[in-house]
Structure 1
Amino acid sequence: MPTFCPTYHVPVLLRETVDGLDVKPDGVYVDVTFGGGGHSREILSRLGCEGRLFSFDQDADAEQNVPADESRLTFVRSNFRYLTHWMRYHGQTEGVDGVLADLGVSSHHFDAEERGFSFRFDAPLDMRMNGRGGETAAQVLNTRSEEDLAKIFQLYGELKNGRRLAAAIVARRQEQAFSAIDDLLQVVKPMMPRDREKKDLARVFQALRIEVNHEMVALEEMLRGALRCLKPGGRLSVLTYHSLEDRMVKNFMRSGNVEGKVEQDFFGNRLSPLRPINNKVIVPSPEEQSTNPRSRSAKLRIAEKVAEKKP
């Protein structure tokens, strides 16, 4: 039986995120980002014998943390973008009572040198959350056009010098292909202001990671899937860590779409399939931020699915 690894990942806003689900003892819940299992274990602690939990993670490393609770917990090794497919597969046609998502990268990914998520180590430029397939960060750097690379850095990293970075990368790969983190650092570090070096390097790595894992597309598909799967009154509790994903989640919870376009009825009343529970975003306490650095950029948003009005 796999052994739980407490250092794999320290969950952020653990109590607040699970409180947002308003867990019913006999309810059906989904944790689409299992990781170290912290949020899933907290949900299980609030479920009774008849409750069910489905936990998703596409990373094979996460399976070492799955607790022995086969009667209530089903682990799904898959990207959360396929949420609706797997819920149908497991017979959850009546809908679920809550969906929880802790977005971004786990502590484990940042600390596992060989995964290539952090510029603290020299390792292969991988960055895949699902190491069993897909394009690596090295392949992105070696094959994408200068225009595409510039868009990646500008859109996903919000870097003002994205075009210069892209041009420098294309010039370097004509002499030698990218394979390791140090290859990338040699090119981009000289282009970073000293007072913002670490912050800008983090943005470069964020941009590549988002592109490699198709994170924005997967997030949109997961949000739409969660809306389809939730019962009326069901809760959606989502933790975000950067402005791109937070904007998408905020828009979706207010309007039911990632663009934030709110429909209105004839009388001007808002027509949204979700009702935000916390109009003011929830952030970690100063104490949590001091003990868990990952929590410093975290924002928690919670919404409830409203019942469809009958004509």
Structure 2
Amino acid sequence: MKNIFNSFKKCLIPVLGVLALTSCGDENDFTPYQTKDGIANASNVKFVHAAVGPNGTNFQINYFTGSEKISAVGVTTGIPIGMGYGAQYPAPINYTLMKPGTQPLSILTPVVPATATKPEVPAVTIYDGNIVTEAGKNYTSFLLSTPPSVSPPVYSLYQLNDDLSVANLDPSKAYIRFINVISNSAPVGYDLGILKETSLSGAVPVTTKEIYTYRNVTFKGGDEKYIAIEPQSPIDTRGYQLQLRVAGSPTNVPGTITGTTIANLANTPAGTAFVPRAGRIYTIFCRGIVGGIPNATTNIPTLAFITNK
């Protein structure tokens, strides 16, 4: 396993032996694929680590196709790093280039090198299977785990088609979808409330109003199609609130996320706001474990979002 952790430059992504050096700039979504060494029309995949480990022990992962590492950053010294729980790869808007068709895909924990006091911890394969994609298409792939009642946990992939062409229908709108990846979620599912708040510089904030609600979204439920919503003004940096509720309940799901006391993704602290912009596409999702593991405040249901475009 040691020799698969080679050193790469930032965003140097290997695709079955072909290296495609691309920019990590915010505006580069890696689509369409730029021909490299005679291989064109790649598929594009965004990976999301949404799997809670056994007994709530979260872990890092790396993705491989064959022997080629296709996620995170490889190192040759120190402790290898990978994607932590809740992380996505690549960064917002970007996608990993993949050879289309049916390709081998494995997910491993990083090797932890030996120290003077501890032996080496070898990599552990938690998923070994295939990924199926089509040339020119975009996908989001969630790594999921079975409910905490299942021991040992079983890990699986939940793959969505990302039709980014929807933004061309009306570039003045933002586009969203809502996905539930909580394996022991309430049988009735969850409702997602989206509350609009504006706070222009020097102006009185507009009264909060709910602009859209998804209802009864069960585990691995939700529509992979995006819908249009009103975007935030370009000069307004206050985010919309995203509120998670058990279906039919007016009360937000108890939990903690980014410093708040409810599963409510708002504009505090700075940098966590959901600020939909015109022409952008987002996947909103809830992850975690109902009741939390290993205790009532760890790995509990939280809200997050991906910027797909």
Could you tell me the TM-score, scaled by structure 2's length? 0.24
Q: Which has the higher strand share?
A: 2
Structure ranking higher on relative contact order (CA contacts 8 Å, 6+ apart): 1
Which structure has the highest helix share of the two?
Answer: 1
Scaled by the length of structure 1, what TM-score is found?
A: 0.24
